[in-house]
Amino acid sequence: MNLDENNKSLFPEQSESISKNVIDDQERERLRLALCDARIYSYSEVPVQENALEVDGRGFLALNELHALKAKQKSGKTTILKVLVAALLLGVIFRVKSLLVNPRILFFDTEQSKADTKLILEDVAQMTGVTPELIDSQVALYSLRRRDREELLPMLRVAIEDEKPSVVFIDGLVDFVSSFNDETASKQLIHELLVLCDEFNCAIVCVLHTNKAEDDHNMRGHLGTMMCQKSSTVLECTKTKGVITVSCTDARHAEMPQWSIMYGEDGHIVDADERYKQLLEQRKAEQENKRKEASAEMKRERLEKCLTILRDNGGSISRKQLTEQLVIEFKLERCTVSSYISEWLKDKVLVKVDDMIQVNENQALPF
Protein backbone atom coordinates (compact mmCIF):
# COMPACT_ATOMS: atom_id res chain seq x y z
CA MET A 1 0.00 0.00 0.00
CA ASN A 2 1.46 3.38 -0.99
CA LEU A 3 1.39 6.47 1.18
CA ASP A 4 -1.73 7.98 -0.49
CA GLU A 5 -3.70 4.78 -0.06
CA ASN A 6 -2.56 4.55 3.54
CA ASN A 7 -3.78 8.11 4.21
CA LYS A 8 -7.16 7.30 2.65
CA SER A 9 -7.62 4.33 4.93
CA LEU A 10 -6.61 6.31 8.02
CA PHE A 11 -8.69 9.42 7.21
CA PRO A 12 -11.60 8.27 4.99
CA GLU A 13 -13.82 11.34 5.71
CA GLN A 14 -11.04 13.80 4.94
CA SER A 15 -10.18 11.91 1.76
CA GLU A 16 -13.80 11.98 0.62
CA SER A 17 -14.03 15.72 1.34
CA ILE A 18 -10.90 16.41 -0.70
CA SER A 19 -12.17 14.37 -3.63
CA LYS A 20 -15.42 16.34 -3.65
CA ASN A 21 -13.46 19.59 -3.94
CA VAL A 22 -11.57 18.47 -7.00
CA ILE A 23 -12.60 20.61 -9.99
CA ASP A 24 -12.18 19.27 -13.52
CA ASP A 25 -10.85 21.50 -16.27
CA GLN A 26 -14.22 22.17 -17.85
CA GLU A 27 -15.80 23.26 -14.55
CA ARG A 28 -12.73 25.31 -13.70
CA GLU A 29 -13.03 27.23 -16.96
CA ARG A 30 -16.77 27.81 -16.37
CA LEU A 31 -16.08 29.22 -12.93
CA ARG A 32 -13.23 31.34 -14.26
CA LEU A 33 -15.56 32.91 -16.85
CA ALA A 34 -18.20 33.50 -14.17
CA LEU A 35 -15.65 35.26 -11.96
CA CYS A 36 -14.47 37.34 -14.90
CA ASP A 37 -18.06 38.44 -15.55
CA ALA A 38 -18.60 39.27 -11.87
CA ARG A 39 -15.39 41.25 -11.31
CA ILE A 40 -15.74 45.00 -10.77
CA TYR A 41 -12.92 47.24 -11.96
CA SER A 42 -12.33 50.90 -11.19
CA TYR A 43 -13.43 51.66 -14.76
CA SER A 44 -16.45 49.32 -14.75
CA GLU A 45 -19.74 50.92 -15.79
CA VAL A 46 -22.52 49.98 -13.41
CA PRO A 47 -26.19 51.00 -13.51
CA VAL A 48 -27.06 54.16 -11.59
CA GLN A 49 -29.36 53.34 -8.69
CA GLU A 50 -32.95 54.28 -9.47
CA ASN A 51 -35.42 54.68 -6.64
CA ALA A 52 -39.12 54.04 -7.00
CA LEU A 53 -40.25 56.55 -4.36
CA GLU A 54 -39.02 59.42 -2.22
CA VAL A 55 -40.05 61.29 0.92
CA ASP A 56 -38.88 64.88 1.36
CA GLY A 57 -36.36 64.42 -1.44
CA ARG A 58 -34.82 61.21 -0.05
CA GLY A 59 -35.26 58.24 -2.34
CA PHE A 60 -36.10 54.73 -1.19
CA LEU A 61 -37.19 51.37 -2.62
CA ALA A 62 -34.39 51.15 -5.17
CA LEU A 63 -35.04 49.07 -8.28
CA ASN A 64 -32.93 45.94 -8.65
CA GLU A 65 -33.00 45.52 -4.85
CA LEU A 66 -34.83 43.65 -2.12
CA HIS A 67 -36.65 45.57 0.62
CA ALA A 68 -38.51 44.69 3.82
CA LEU A 69 -41.50 46.13 5.66
CA LYS A 70 -41.70 44.77 9.21
CA ALA A 71 -44.44 45.20 11.77
CA LYS A 72 -46.29 43.68 14.69
CA GLN A 73 -49.60 42.04 13.83
CA LYS A 74 -52.43 44.46 13.03
CA SER A 75 -50.11 47.46 12.94
CA GLY A 76 -51.24 48.83 9.57
CA LYS A 77 -48.70 47.29 7.21
CA THR A 78 -51.26 46.68 4.45
CA THR A 79 -52.46 50.27 4.83
CA ILE A 80 -48.90 51.48 4.29
CA LEU A 81 -48.68 49.35 1.13
CA LYS A 82 -51.90 50.97 -0.12
CA VAL A 83 -50.29 54.40 0.25
CA LEU A 84 -47.17 53.25 -1.62
CA VAL A 85 -49.30 51.90 -4.47
CA ALA A 86 -51.34 55.12 -4.52
CA ALA A 87 -48.17 57.23 -4.73
CA LEU A 88 -46.84 55.15 -7.62
CA LEU A 89 -50.11 55.58 -9.52
CA LEU A 90 -50.89 59.21 -8.73
CA GLY A 91 -47.34 60.58 -8.65
CA VAL A 92 -47.54 61.99 -5.14
CA ILE A 93 -49.72 61.46 -2.09
CA PHE A 94 -49.18 62.98 1.33
CA ARG A 95 -45.35 63.26 1.51
CA VAL A 96 -44.65 60.20 -0.63
CA LYS A 97 -43.65 60.94 -4.23
CA SER A 98 -43.15 58.55 -7.14
CA LEU A 99 -39.94 58.75 -9.18
CA LEU A 100 -41.25 56.43 -11.90
CA VAL A 101 -43.42 57.17 -14.95
CA ASN A 102 -46.45 54.91 -15.38
CA PRO A 103 -44.91 52.06 -13.39
CA ARG A 104 -46.39 48.59 -13.42
CA ILE A 105 -47.04 47.12 -9.98
CA LEU A 106 -47.33 43.50 -8.93
CA PHE A 107 -49.01 42.74 -5.59
CA PHE A 108 -49.09 39.25 -4.03
CA ASP A 109 -51.41 39.00 -0.99
CA THR A 110 -51.10 35.66 0.80
CA GLU A 111 -52.84 36.66 4.04
CA GLN A 112 -56.24 38.25 3.46
CA SER A 113 -59.56 37.08 2.09
CA LYS A 114 -60.51 38.04 -1.45
CA ALA A 115 -62.87 40.69 -0.10
CA ASP A 116 -60.13 42.30 2.01
CA THR A 117 -57.65 42.02 -0.85
CA LYS A 118 -60.07 43.86 -3.14
CA LEU A 119 -60.26 46.63 -0.54
CA ILE A 120 -56.67 47.45 -1.49
CA LEU A 121 -57.86 48.58 -4.92
CA GLU A 122 -60.92 50.33 -3.50
CA ASP A 123 -58.88 52.32 -0.99
CA VAL A 124 -56.29 53.19 -3.63
CA ALA A 125 -59.08 54.43 -5.92
CA GLN A 126 -60.52 56.54 -3.11
CA MET A 127 -57.13 58.09 -2.26
CA THR A 128 -56.10 58.80 -5.84
CA GLY A 129 -59.35 59.43 -7.68
CA VAL A 130 -58.03 57.50 -10.67
CA THR A 131 -60.36 55.28 -12.66
CA PRO A 132 -60.67 51.52 -12.09
CA GLU A 133 -59.51 51.02 -15.67
CA LEU A 134 -56.25 52.87 -15.00
CA ILE A 135 -55.67 50.97 -11.76
CA ASP A 136 -56.23 47.60 -13.44
CA SER A 137 -53.91 48.54 -16.30
CA GLN A 138 -51.01 49.22 -13.92
CA VAL A 139 -51.69 47.07 -10.85
CA ALA A 140 -51.75 43.28 -10.99
CA LEU A 141 -53.20 42.24 -7.61
CA TYR A 142 -53.48 38.58 -6.63
CA SER A 143 -55.26 36.96 -3.68
CA LEU A 144 -53.23 33.80 -2.95
CA ARG A 145 -54.21 32.74 0.56
CA ARG A 146 -55.52 29.38 -0.69
CA ARG A 147 -52.51 28.49 -2.82
CA ASP A 148 -50.04 25.82 -1.74
CA ARG A 149 -46.70 27.05 -0.49
CA GLU A 150 -44.79 25.18 -3.21
CA GLU A 151 -46.66 27.14 -5.91
CA LEU A 152 -45.97 30.64 -4.66
CA LEU A 153 -42.39 31.21 -5.79
CA PRO A 154 -42.94 29.72 -9.28
CA MET A 155 -46.12 31.80 -9.59
CA LEU A 156 -44.16 34.89 -8.57
CA ARG A 157 -41.57 34.27 -11.29
CA VAL A 158 -44.26 33.75 -13.95
CA ALA A 159 -46.14 36.88 -12.83
CA ILE A 160 -42.95 38.97 -12.97
CA GLU A 161 -42.10 37.58 -16.40
CA ASP A 162 -45.58 38.42 -17.72
CA GLU A 163 -46.27 41.73 -15.96
CA LYS A 164 -42.73 43.14 -16.03
CA PRO A 165 -43.37 45.28 -12.94
CA SER A 166 -41.11 48.00 -11.59
CA VAL A 167 -42.25 47.30 -8.03
CA VAL A 168 -43.40 44.03 -6.48
CA PHE A 169 -45.18 43.83 -3.11
CA ILE A 170 -45.36 40.51 -1.25
CA ASP A 171 -47.73 40.82 1.69
CA GLY A 172 -46.96 37.61 3.56
CA LEU A 173 -43.44 36.42 2.79
CA VAL A 174 -43.60 33.80 5.55
CA ASP A 175 -46.10 31.81 3.46
CA PHE A 176 -43.32 31.08 0.94
CA VAL A 177 -41.55 28.75 3.42
CA SER A 178 -42.73 25.87 5.60
CA SER A 179 -41.10 27.50 8.64
CA PHE A 180 -39.48 30.88 9.18
CA ASN A 181 -36.87 29.03 11.27
CA ASP A 182 -35.79 26.79 8.38
CA GLU A 183 -32.36 28.27 7.71
CA THR A 184 -31.74 26.45 4.43
CA ALA A 185 -35.16 27.27 2.97
CA SER A 186 -34.89 30.89 4.12
CA LYS A 187 -31.50 31.37 2.47
CA GLN A 188 -32.73 29.79 -0.74
CA LEU A 189 -35.88 31.94 -0.87
CA ILE A 190 -34.01 35.19 -0.28
CA HIS A 191 -31.47 34.16 -2.94
CA GLU A 192 -34.25 33.50 -5.45
CA LEU A 193 -35.83 36.86 -4.72
CA LEU A 194 -32.50 38.64 -5.23
CA VAL A 195 -32.08 36.84 -8.54
CA LEU A 196 -35.54 38.05 -9.63
CA CYS A 197 -34.67 41.63 -8.60
CA ASP A 198 -31.49 41.52 -10.65
CA GLU A 199 -32.92 39.68 -13.63
CA PHE A 200 -35.98 41.88 -14.07
CA ASN A 201 -34.64 45.15 -12.59
CA CYS A 202 -37.49 45.48 -10.12
CA ALA A 203 -37.84 46.40 -6.47
CA ILE A 204 -39.33 43.59 -4.39
CA VAL A 205 -40.87 44.68 -1.10
CA CYS A 206 -41.55 41.86 1.38
CA VAL A 207 -43.77 42.12 4.46
CA LEU A 208 -42.74 40.10 7.51
CA HIS A 209 -43.94 40.24 11.12
CA THR A 210 -41.59 41.06 13.96
CA ASN A 211 -41.28 38.89 17.06
CA LYS A 212 -44.21 38.96 19.47
CA ALA A 213 -42.41 40.57 22.42
CA GLU A 214 -43.35 44.25 22.55
CA ASP A 215 -39.76 45.50 22.76
CA ASP A 216 -38.39 43.06 20.14
CA HIS A 217 -38.34 44.70 16.71
CA ASN A 218 -36.49 41.92 14.88
CA MET A 219 -38.20 40.06 12.06
CA ARG A 220 -39.09 36.49 12.89
CA GLY A 221 -36.70 33.57 12.67
CA HIS A 222 -33.94 32.78 10.19
CA LEU A 223 -36.13 34.20 7.43
CA GLY A 224 -36.19 37.56 9.20
CA THR A 225 -32.44 37.47 9.80
CA MET A 226 -31.70 36.75 6.14
CA MET A 227 -34.24 39.34 5.02
CA CYS A 228 -32.60 42.01 7.16
CA GLN A 229 -29.11 41.11 5.94
CA LYS A 230 -29.98 41.17 2.26
CA SER A 231 -32.47 44.05 2.14
CA SER A 232 -31.37 47.39 0.79
CA THR A 233 -34.01 49.08 2.94
CA VAL A 234 -35.87 47.91 6.04
CA LEU A 235 -38.98 49.89 6.93
CA GLU A 236 -40.94 49.45 10.15
CA CYS A 237 -44.63 50.09 10.62
CA THR A 238 -46.00 50.94 14.09
CA LYS A 239 -49.41 52.01 15.36
CA THR A 240 -50.06 54.45 18.22
CA LYS A 241 -53.64 55.37 19.13
CA GLY A 242 -54.79 54.82 15.57
CA VAL A 243 -51.86 56.63 13.96
CA ILE A 244 -49.81 54.40 11.64
CA THR A 245 -46.19 55.48 11.30
CA VAL A 246 -43.56 54.10 8.96
CA SER A 247 -39.87 54.70 9.60
CA CYS A 248 -36.61 53.42 8.17
CA THR A 249 -34.65 51.22 10.59
CA ASP A 250 -31.92 50.03 8.20
CA ALA A 251 -30.68 51.38 4.89
CA ARG A 252 -27.64 50.95 2.69
CA HIS A 253 -27.86 54.57 1.65
CA ALA A 254 -29.84 57.61 2.88
CA GLU A 255 -32.67 56.77 5.28
CA MET A 256 -36.24 57.58 4.35
CA PRO A 257 -37.76 60.24 6.67
CA GLN A 258 -40.55 59.08 8.94
CA TRP A 259 -44.18 59.73 7.95
CA SER A 260 -47.61 58.93 9.36
CA ILE A 261 -51.15 58.21 8.20
CA MET A 262 -54.44 57.25 9.84
CA TYR A 263 -58.05 56.44 9.03
CA GLY A 264 -60.24 59.52 9.32
CA GLU A 265 -63.76 59.63 10.74
CA ASP A 266 -65.13 58.79 7.28
CA GLY A 267 -62.96 55.66 7.10
CA HIS A 268 -60.61 57.12 4.51
CA ILE A 269 -56.81 57.14 4.76
CA VAL A 270 -55.50 60.62 5.58
CA ASP A 271 -52.22 62.29 6.42
CA ALA A 272 -51.39 62.08 10.14
CA ASP A 273 -48.01 63.76 10.52
CA GLU A 274 -49.48 66.57 12.63
CA ARG A 275 -51.51 64.15 14.71
CA TYR A 276 -48.39 62.07 15.35
CA LYS A 277 -46.53 65.18 16.54
CA GLN A 278 -49.38 65.88 18.94
CA LEU A 279 -49.20 62.32 20.26
CA LEU A 280 -45.45 62.67 20.80
CA GLU A 281 -45.92 65.93 22.70
CA GLN A 282 -48.72 64.36 24.74
CA ARG A 283 -46.57 61.33 25.57
CA LYS A 284 -43.65 63.58 26.49
CA ALA A 285 -45.87 65.58 28.84
CA GLU A 286 -47.23 62.37 30.40
CA GLN A 287 -43.72 61.03 30.93
CA GLU A 288 -42.65 64.32 32.50
CA ASN A 289 -45.64 64.22 34.85
CA LYS A 290 -44.83 60.64 35.81
CA ARG A 291 -41.22 61.64 36.46
CA LYS A 292 -42.31 64.51 38.66
CA GLU A 293 -44.78 62.31 40.53
CA ALA A 294 -42.13 59.65 41.09
CA SER A 295 -39.66 62.27 42.30
CA ALA A 296 -42.24 63.75 44.68
CA GLU A 297 -43.09 60.31 46.04
CA MET A 298 -39.42 59.53 46.62
CA LYS A 299 -38.95 62.82 48.48
CA ARG A 300 -42.03 62.11 50.60
CA GLU A 301 -40.79 58.64 51.53
CA ARG A 302 -37.36 60.00 52.49
CA LEU A 303 -38.81 62.78 54.58
CA GLU A 304 -41.09 60.29 56.36
CA LYS A 305 -38.04 58.16 57.14
CA CYS A 306 -36.25 61.23 58.52
CA LEU A 307 -39.24 62.05 60.75
CA THR A 308 -39.35 58.44 62.00
CA ILE A 309 -35.70 58.68 63.00
CA LEU A 310 -36.42 61.93 64.85
CA ARG A 311 -39.35 60.35 66.72
CA ASP A 312 -37.26 57.31 67.61
CA ASN A 313 -34.67 59.68 69.12
CA GLY A 314 -37.12 61.64 71.24
CA GLY A 315 -37.79 64.32 68.62
CA SER A 316 -34.26 65.76 68.61
CA ILE A 317 -30.99 64.59 67.08
CA SER A 318 -27.67 66.10 66.01
CA ARG A 319 -27.16 66.70 62.33
CA LYS A 320 -24.17 64.38 62.32
CA GLN A 321 -26.17 61.49 63.80
CA LEU A 322 -29.10 62.15 61.49
CA THR A 323 -26.81 62.19 58.49
CA GLU A 324 -25.14 58.90 59.49
CA GLN A 325 -28.46 57.12 60.01
CA LEU A 326 -29.91 58.38 56.74
CA VAL A 327 -26.77 57.34 54.82
CA ILE A 328 -27.35 53.78 56.06
CA GLU A 329 -31.09 53.94 55.44
CA PHE A 330 -30.96 55.45 51.93
CA LYS A 331 -27.70 53.78 50.83
CA LEU A 332 -26.58 57.12 49.41
CA GLU A 333 -23.43 59.21 49.62
CA ARG A 334 -23.01 61.44 52.66
CA CYS A 335 -22.99 64.63 50.56
CA THR A 336 -26.32 63.66 48.93
CA VAL A 337 -27.97 63.01 52.29
CA SER A 338 -26.59 66.28 53.62
CA SER A 339 -28.20 68.14 50.71
CA TYR A 340 -31.58 66.62 51.65
CA ILE A 341 -31.24 67.82 55.24
CA SER A 342 -30.25 71.30 54.02
CA GLU A 343 -33.33 71.38 51.77
CA TRP A 344 -35.66 70.38 54.66
CA LEU A 345 -34.13 73.08 56.82
CA LYS A 346 -34.54 75.64 54.05
CA ASP A 347 -38.18 74.65 53.58
CA LYS A 348 -38.58 74.96 57.39
CA VAL A 349 -39.88 71.40 57.69
CA LEU A 350 -37.00 70.91 60.12
CA VAL A 351 -35.47 73.46 62.46
CA LYS A 352 -32.18 73.64 64.30
CA VAL A 353 -32.43 74.35 68.03
CA ASP A 354 -29.28 74.41 70.17
CA ASP A 355 -27.37 72.57 67.42
CA MET A 356 -29.98 69.82 67.38
CA ILE A 357 -32.34 68.97 64.51
CA GLN A 358 -36.05 68.97 65.36
CA VAL A 359 -39.38 68.92 63.54
CA ASN A 360 -40.87 72.36 63.00
CA GLU A 361 -44.24 71.98 64.72
CA ASN A 362 -45.41 75.31 63.27
CA GLN A 363 -44.84 74.24 59.66
CA ALA A 364 -47.31 71.99 57.82
CA LEU A 365 -45.75 68.93 56.20
CA PRO A 366 -45.66 68.97 52.37
CA PHE A 367 -47.85 65.83 52.11
Residues 120 and 217 in one domain: yes
Task: Confirm whether 194 is domain-assigned.
Answer: yes
Residues 123 and 261 in one domain: yes
Quote the pLDDT of residue 125. Answer: 96
Q: Name residue 251's amino acid.
A: A
**Degrees to nearest 5, angle at CA 304 with 301 and 307:** 155
Q: CATH number, domain at 181? A: 3.40.50.300
Alpha-carbon distance 339 to 324, whole Å?
A: 13
Give Dmax over CA atoms of the chain in angstroms. 108
10 Å Cβ neighbour count for 330? 16
Quote the pLDDT of residue 354. Answer: 85
Residues 141 and 207 in one domain: yes
Residues 266 and 306 in one domain: no
Residues 265 and 342 in one domain: no
Quote the pLDDT of residue 19. Answer: 47
Q: CATH number, domain at 319? A: 1.10.10
Residues 181 and 241 in one domain: yes
Quote the pLDDT of residue 215. Answer: 84
End-to-end CA separation in angstroms for the chain:
97
CA 250 to mean position of chain CA atoms:
8
> What does DSSP assign to residue 354?
T
Q: Are strands 139-143 and 269-271 parallel, antiparallel or unpaired?
A: unpaired
Residues 338 and 267 in one domain: no
- pTM for the complete prediction? 0.77
Residues 68 and 215 in one domain: yes
Residue where a domain stops, chosen among 237, 254, 271: 271
317 three-state secondary structure: strand
Residues 238 and 112 in one domain: yes
Quote the pLDDT of residue 18. Answer: 45
Residues 143 and 265 in one domain: yes
Task: Confirm whether 170 is domain-assigned.
Answer: yes
Q: How many residues does the chain have?
A: 367
Quote the pLDDT of residue 46. Answer: 84
Quote the pLDDT of residue 24. Answer: 87
Task: Confirm whether 248 is domain-assigned.
Answer: yes
Which residue range forms the structural domain that includes residue 338?
Answer: 296-359
Residues 257 and 304 in one domain: no
Residues 261 and 121 in one domain: yes
Task: Confirm whether 38 is domain-assigned.
Answer: no
Task: Confirm whether 131 is domain-assigned.
Answer: yes
Task: Confirm whether 288 is domain-assigned.
Answer: no
Domains in the chain, number: 2
Task: Confirm whether 187 is domain-assigned.
Answer: yes
Quote the pLDDT of residue 47. Answer: 82
**Contacts of residue 366, Cβ cutoff 8 Å, sequence gap at least 6:** 300, 303, 347, 349
Alpha-carbon distance 251 to 59, whole Å?
A: 11
Q: pLDDT below 50 — which residues of the chain?
A: 1, 3, 15, 17-19
Task: Confirm whether 45 is domain-assigned.
Answer: no
DSSP bridge partners of 203: 167
